[in-house]
Amino acid sequence: MLASLVATCKMAGVNPVDYLADTLHAILDGHPKSRIEDLMPWRHAQPSSLTA
């Protein structure tokens, strides 16, 4: 299961460690179950390349 999560993150261009940490924080902070789609790797917020 972990290998699948890491592979999905890589396909979405997301750092797996950052994704997992952010997702666990969101769950602990009370992210609503009705918005679980927001926590998928392909929806993970990417840093903007324009912020440099």
What are 2-52's pLDDT values in tens digits? 899 999 999 999 999 999 999 999 999 999 999 999 999 999 876 554 444
Structure confidence at residue 50 (pLDDT): 46
CA pair distance 45, 18, nearest whole angstrom: 10
| Tokens (6 digits) for 27 | 């769950």
